[in-house]
Amino acid sequence: MKHFLTLIRCCLGSLRSRIVRGSVWCVMTLLGAALLGGDVAAGKKDALRWLDSEFTISTISRDEQVREMEWFIEAARPYRGMNVRVTSERIGTHLYEASVLAKAFSEITGINVFHETTGEDDVIKKLYTQIDINRSLYDLFISDSDLIGTHFRSQNVENLSDFIAGKGRDVTLPTLDLADFIGLEFVKGPDGALYQLPDQQFANLYWYRHDWFTREDLRRKFKQHYGYELGVPKNWSAYEDIAEFFTFVVKEIDGERVYGHMDYGRADPSLGWRFSDAWLAMAGAGDVGLPSGSPVNDWGIRTEACRPVGASVARGGALNGPAAVFSLEKYIEWLHKYAPQNAITLNFTDAGTQPGKGNIAQQIFWYTAFTAALTKPGLAVINEDGTPKWRMAPSPLGPYWKAGMKRGYQDVGAWTMLKNTPLKQQKAGWLYAQFTVSKTVSLRKTIVGLTPIRVSDINSNHMTLLAPKLAGLIEFYRSPTARVQWTPTGLGVPDYPKLSTLWWKNISLAVSGQLSEKQALDKLAAEMDEGLGYIARTSSGPCAPQLNEKQKESFWLKQPGSPKPTRADEKPTGKTMSNKEMIEIWE
């Protein structure tokens, strides 16, 4: 306002002095300012409309919401009329952003947002295409924090800590409250700098039919067969017993064929995630130490200081070690023996929603991103009162697992800004990114997509009221231990896009029977070493890979920790947990 009055005084002065060019300039500027002022007023009106219609629940007061929206309107002034393009994976949370939040942001700020949703694999390819061909395809990406090891090494991604403190300071939301994000540690480099901003978060947990597990007749029958209580399995032995029980002993419930296991086995990139998303860690192949295991991580890669030095046992890794081989053997055995026949032809998406059909008793490897899809009223796994017949619980652990190791996988889909995006586009895009995680909209988004990112949302009364309908999701996220023991692919994977493709290409050879489990993992480990070697030759920096010389495998297997030698008893007695024990794990 102060500047506006100065401008009017200046114009009157020019007119009085009959300075024609100055007068014309002033009138034009005043006209522009008036129009812009009109736009801003319209933006405020739109903001109030959105607060009344969509963002009616929030962890901040309505006054605070209004102030947050006013900040967005002011900060967006220089970018009004600009187009911003972003892309993300196609899950419920991002569909909500693309269809509702993008529209709200556009109307409130005057910045047009085109939020495209596609496959996660496609997002990664587009991100790397933008880097490779050095063309700005998108202003921001939402990509998995699994890529953090790649991002901090490549230096193609903006360091957000620097951006917030420097060139993006004027467009950084004062109420962003980074400390409120539960997954912030997953998107930091070893330098402590923030490379991505969390947008949604999900974990991989155990899924089971709580109604069947609590049926007296089934519990009695299970105890008769196996000598212990039917319950959430603590180890893989119990998981296997329960799988056998439902597939071969129970066989039918209410006249329908049921199965004790569900999984997927189609040869496509999602088969890789089935393993790279911490299956080896759950088996116990890596080392103790959070977030990923050190010195050997959940991919079986050994890292010294921050340098990856090898994946094969011969170089000190564990990718083709006894624990990894055991984990692949069990995956294939269970898929063939206990899952429905078509499971081998399915991918990640198909298998995630399959339990909703009502014929699956348990699934050891299940993404919570499917919670919204499996809590829809009318499904065979939902009671008439809307509560689920199923629950999620900590995944059982393999015979090589030891206390202090990561328990499973959790990932953050996070806003990622490339350095080759023009600054003005970066700034306009950054405003939209922050809008989608702002406290004004975050709780509503969390309830729609069930992929929480903020402590304040998770601890809200709204979530407490919803908890009985969410089958254990809220209990998981309220657990401080769960937030640190379930972790993403960490800093030890130096080029996720290049190395991750090796998983499915080799695992599929074992699934199809072309190679034995050991042969497939030997091949995978050799190719992983080769990949690390290539990265070592083509990159520099203190955290670039540097391969160990090959040794006899026995040398490494005799050392303490990972790689671990074959256990004499890979199937110890099955153990299940009581409800009390389950609660203790979350605590």
Partner 1 sequence: MQKVDVHFCWKKCSFTKVIGLFVLLVISLSSAATKDDGYSSSVTFHLLTEQIPPYSFKSENGIEGAGVDVVTQLFSRAGISVAFQIMPLKRALHTARKNKNTCIFPIQRTQEREAAFKWVSPILVSQAGLYSTKKSNLHIVTLNDAKDYVIGGYGGSAIFNYLKSHELNVIPVNNDILNFKKLLADRIDLWATDTLTASYLTKKSDRNSIKLEIIFMTKIRALACNLGVDSEVVNALQAHLIEMYRDGALDLIIGNYKD
426 belongs to the binding site for partner 1 (CB under 8 A): no
Read off the DSSP letter of residue 312: S
444 belongs to the binding site for partner 1 (CB under 8 A): no
Q: Applying CB under 8 A, which of residues 62, 67, 80, 103 lies at the interface with partner 1? A: 103
Residue 107: Cβ-neighbour burial (10 angstroms; 0-12, 13-18, 19+): middle
Strands 197-209 and 408-416, by their bridges, are: antiparallel
- Kindly write down the DSSP assignment for every residue of 224-278, as one continuous string: HHHSS--SEESBHHHHHHHHHIIIIII-EETTEE-BS------SSHHHHHHHHTT
- Kindly write down the DSSP assignment for every residue of 462-500, as one continuous string: HHHHHGGGTTTHHHHHH-TTHHHHEE-S-TT-S-HHHHH
Q: Which span (145-153, 357-365, 503-511, 572-580) binds partner 1, by CB under 8 A? A: 503-511
Least separation in angstroms between CB 244 and partner 1: 32
Neighbour tally for 57: CB within 10 Å: 13
Q: Applying CB under 8 A, which of residues 129, 516, 539, 546 lies at the interface with partner 1? A: 129
Strands 197-209 and 576-577, by their bridges, are: unpaired
Q: Applying CB under 8 A, which of residues 119, 404, 468, 572 lies at the interface with partner 1? A: 119
Q: Applying CB under 8 A, which of residues 26, 69, 76, 102 lies at the interface with partner 1? A: 102
Give the residue with the Cβ less far from partner 1, 138 or 338. Answer: 138
- Residues composing the chain: 587
Query: E strands of 404-459, at which residues?
Result: 408-416
Question: Interface mask (CB under 8 A) for partner 1, residues 41-80, using x and -?
Answer: ----------------------------------------
134 belongs to the binding site for partner 1 (CB under 8 A): yes
| Dihedral pair phi/psi, residue 142, rounded to 5° | -110, 110
Q: Which of 511, 184, 95, 112 is nearest to 343 (CA)?
A: 511
Give the residue with the Cβ less far from partner 1, 236 or 348. Answer: 348
Write the CB contacts of 183 (distance below 8 Å, at least 6 apart in sequence).
145, 198, 201, 410, 412, 414, 453, 483
**575: its two tokens:** 């153990």
498 belongs to the binding site for partner 1 (CB under 8 A): no
How distant is the alpha carbon of residue 543 from its chain centre?
Answer: 24
**3: its two tokens:** 């500047």
Least separation in angstroms between CB 479 and partner 1: 33
Q: Applying CB under 8 A, which of residues 52, 252, 268, 333 lies at the interface with partner 1? A: 268
**476: its two tokens:** 């998981």
Q: Which span (13-21, 126-134, 154-162, 352-360) binds partner 1, by CB under 8 A? A: 126-134
Q: Which helix (H) or strand (E) holds 86?
A: strand 83-89
Q: Among residue numbers 208 through 267, which ones bind partner 1 (CB under 8 A)? A: 267
Q: CB of 398 within 8 A of CB of 283?
A: yes
350 belongs to the binding site for partner 1 (CB under 8 A): no
Q: Applying CB under 8 A, which of residues 54, 64, 116, 229 lies at the interface with partner 1? A: 116
Q: Applying CB under 8 A, which of residues 25, 66, 106, 344 lies at the interface with partner 1? A: 106
Q: Which span (108-116, 309-317, 364-372, 449-457) binds partner 1, by CB under 8 A? A: 108-116
Q: Which span (67-75, 102-110, 191-199, 387-395) binds partner 1, by CB under 8 A? A: 102-110
Q: Applying CB under 8 A, which of residues 137, 249, 379, 536 lies at the interface with partner 1? A: 137
Write the CB contacts of 509 (distance below 8 Å, at least 6 apart in sequence).
515, 519, 520, 523
Q: Applying CB under 8 A, which of residues 11, 76, 98, 203 lies at the interface with partner 1? A: 98
115 belongs to the binding site for partner 1 (CB under 8 A): yes
Q: Applying CB under 8 A, which of residues 62, 125, 215, 469 lies at the interface with partner 1? A: 125
482 belongs to the binding site for partner 1 (CB under 8 A): no
What percent helix, strand, coil does the chain show, rounded to 5? 55, 15, 35
114 belongs to the binding site for partner 1 (CB under 8 A): yes
Give the residue with the Cβ less far from partner 1, 271 or 474. Answer: 271
508 belongs to the binding site for partner 1 (CB under 8 A): yes
Least separation in angstroms between CB 110 and partner 1: 11
Binding site for partner 1 (CB under 8 A): 85, 87, 98-100, 102-103, 106-107, 112, 114-116, 118-119, 121-122, 125-126, 129, 132-135, 137-138, 267-270, 347, 504-505, 508
